Amino acid sequence: MFKSFRNDEPFVNQRIMVDNHGQILEIGSNDFLREYGVTWTDEIIWKNDLTDRHGKLKPHVNFLFKKEAEYWNSDLWSDRDKKFFGLKEQQILMGDFPSLYLKFIDDVVGHGIYANQKIQKDDLIGEYTGEFMFDRRRDTLDSGYLIGGYSRLGRFKWHIDARNNGNYTRFINHSCDPNIKLTQTFFGGQYRGLVIAAKDIKLGEQVLMNYGNDYWSGKQTPVEL
């Protein structure tokens, strides 16, 4: 168990499981970096344009995040929503995720994520981790590993880019018949992208989401997975 560098909450690092010629093995984050060229992160990363040299949020960002927290904690949400997101928040802090594994598919699709156990509709699959940024950091916006949302206040667009840093969720492939969905929320002082099961998922089934048409414009037609 590790302490989060930001809010001092303890959190549990997720185990990294991969398919190696039909055998599911656990690997370390160094092997993961060497094998996939990605730094495994269980947390969202804030870069310098958001923080001062002590790692604290700059005042205008802090103000926005505080207002955002007020909105998300307000009575605009039903008890059902509050319970749903409250439970997911606890699971993230405890590192309580279903077991998944990473598997190479082919040279076109690359790798994908598979269920290493049965998963039920509405279960949390994981949190989309990576580098948090506002829209103006356009340099990385063609990364292919971005998710985004809008702040409720001022309608700022934000993104989490998992090109260089991320976890399993960055390997989720596209399907027009997805079994998971992404949900935007805000807790622990930051925006979050939660990956939630949209259907029951069987052991050994690939975890797939619908990227939407925009993602594929100007790219090759996606393969049916």
The nearer residue to ligand SAM, 18 or 57, going by C-beta atoms, is 18
Question: Is residue 225 within the footprint of ligand SAM (CB under 6 A)?
Answer: yes
Cβ pair 175, 225 in contact under 8 A: yes
Question: Is residue 216 within the footprint of ligand SAM (CB under 6 A)?
Answer: no
Query: Which helix (H) or strand (E) covers residue 68, if one does?
Result: helix 59-72
Which residue carries 């039903």 as its tokens?
Answer: 78
Question: Is residue 111 within the footprint of ligand SAM (CB under 6 A)?
Answer: yes
Cβ pair 168, 100 in contact under 8 A: yes
Q: Give the tokens for residue 72.
A: 């998300």
Question: Is residue 148 within the footprint of ligand SAM (CB under 6 A)?
Answer: no
Question: Is residue 69 within the footprint of ligand SAM (CB under 6 A)?
Answer: no
For residues 29 and 65, what is the distance between their CA atoms, to the nearest angstrom?
30
Question: Is residue 141 within the footprint of ligand SAM (CB under 6 A)?
Answer: no
Of 10, 24, 5, 4, whose CA–CA distance to 204 is shortest? Answer: 24
Tell me the residue number closest to ligand SAM, measured at CB: 110
Of the candidates 55, 144, 189, 204, which one interacts with ligand SAM according to CB under 6 A? 144
> Smallest distance from the beta carbon of 61 to ligand SAM, in angstroms?
27
Quick one: the chain helix, strand, coil %, rounded to 5? 20, 35, 45
Integer Rg of the chain from CA: 17
The nearer residue to ligand SAM, 151 or 167, going by C-beta atoms, is 167
Length of the chain: 225
Of the candidates 40, 128, 171, 191, which one interacts with ligand SAM according to CB under 6 A? 171
Of the candidates 10, 110, 189, 204, which one interacts with ligand SAM according to CB under 6 A? 110
Binding interface with ligand SAM (CB under 6 A):
108-112, 144-145, 170-171, 173-174, 222-223, 225
